[in-house]
Structure formats: structure tokens, C-alpha cells
Structure 1
């Protein structure tokens, strides 16, 4: 069984993570899609509310990935909300069940 192409996988996860980080979805919505400490890190980042805005809704402006190995992707995305731009990085790993899960996540802070 072959999984979805990597661009589709990385785009899907970027949208899912953005929905949680911007408060559009609850953190537990990602429980099945995370592994290891990624869920705890996502909960911590969501609680800080760094992507919740009162104006423009955050969107993925650009995305790319590096295939670290056939079953692991390191994804980077630029998240825009109005004139603010933030970096989002996350790692995806494909399990023995052929499902992709987020295993690490980082969100850049804006420069002063």
C-alpha cells in the first residue's frame, strides 16, 4: 500500500496544526495525528495563543519539506496573518500502519 504524495501529506498537516494553533479547533482534535512529545508541545503552543488574531485569519503562505528518510519528513511553513509572518516547523513520521503522525513541532516567535 502506497501513501499519499508528500506535498499532500505536508499540506494537510500544516492546515491541521494551524487550525489548532489559531484556536479554530481544540488540541485533542490532533491526538490521533501526533506521537511522542508532539501532542504536549502542541498543547503548550496552543495555550500560549501565538496564532490567535483579532484581524486577519492565519493562513499557510508557503510550505516545503525535506525527506529525511523514506518514512520521515521535516516540514517548514510560513504562516501569515495580515502583515505578520511566523515560521512553523514540524516533523512527520510514517508508522508501521502507514499513517503519518506529527512527532515534533516548533513555532517561531516574531522579531521585535
Structure 2
């Protein structure tokens, strides 16, 4: 392979198909397009489509709230469906350690059914912070999960605290 001529890096010379040399038009034209009409452009992502007087041409689907996302992520870890390290980039401070210790005991694992998030509530103590709770149902059992989210400078939410409440094993004298 030889060196490209200056100013032509990354381009290939036009090639003609055998037997078609000189019969192909120099550029591709759409005969249905009126003369002088601008060429068509590629479709853009719905979030990038221009809006009209009637609103966006393609409305974007609603994004899930961070409380919903984190409740599902935390539940997946605490029920053993996802490994704890999947939350490494989504936690800060001691929240990862707390999550690791909670998941180690497998509080939402067992033969009582698949745990699901039944309800989520939250409180915003200040802009960029959310204190949330989730009611976790497993069969006929109900547990509570509380967590705190903080918005980082990179505009990503991270979990800074997590706790799990609900039925525990009975207290014994050995404790």
C-alpha cells in the first residue's frame, strides 16, 4: 500500500464497475425530488428533532425518576440477582460498604417469593439531594428500604446511604 497524496488521507479514488465504465452518472440523483430542493438529511434522534408550533414531532418517552432506578438497582443487589460490585460506580462513601454488608446476609433472598418494589416515596431536603424509601414486598411480607441520593458535579445521581428495615430474626441471649 502506498502513501496517500497530501490532502487525500482517508479517501479512496472512484472506481468504475467492469462493463459500466463511463455509463454511470457522476452523482446520484432522485428524479422524484424537485429541481433545486435541498438534499434529504438522515433522520435524527427523537430528542434532537426540531419542534413545531404544535409541539415536538416525536415526543421523547418519559425518563424514569432516579428514585425508581435506584430502588430497582438496590433491590436487585439485596435479592442476589445482581452482584454488589454492580453498584460501585453508583455509590459514594460508606454506602457501598453498607450495601455490601446488607447483601452479604441476603436479607431479601429466600423461599418467600420474588421481592418487588410496591411503593416509593421521597423527600427533597435541598436541591441535589433526595431521601427516599421503598416498600419491598416478598409474598405476604413487607420490608422497608431507605436510601439517600446526591447529585454529583457530573450531573449523575449516586447513592450515599442505604438501610433495610423490617422483620429480623428473633433476639436471643447470645446476641
TM-score, scaled to structure 2? 0.59
Task: Quote the residue 1:51 is aligned against.
Answer: 108
Task: Quote the residue 1:66 is aligned against.
Answer: 123
Aligned length: 108
Q: 1:86 to 1:17 in 2, by over 3 A?
A: same
Supply the RMSD in Å over aligned alpha carbons.
Answer: 1.7
106, 128, 143: which one aligns with 1:86: 143
Query: For the Cα contact (< 8 Å) 1:93–1:102, is it kept in 2?
Result: yes
Greater helix share, structure number: 1
Task: Quote the residue 1:9 is aligned against.
Answer: 66
Greater strand share, structure number: 1
Unaligned regions of 5+ residues in structure 2, if any? 1-61, 171-175
Pick 1 or 2: higher relative contact order, CA cutoff 8 A, min separation 6: 1
Unaligned regions of 5+ residues in structure 1, if any? none
Task: Quote the residue 2:167 is aligned against.
Answer: 110
TM-score, scaled to structure 1? 0.91
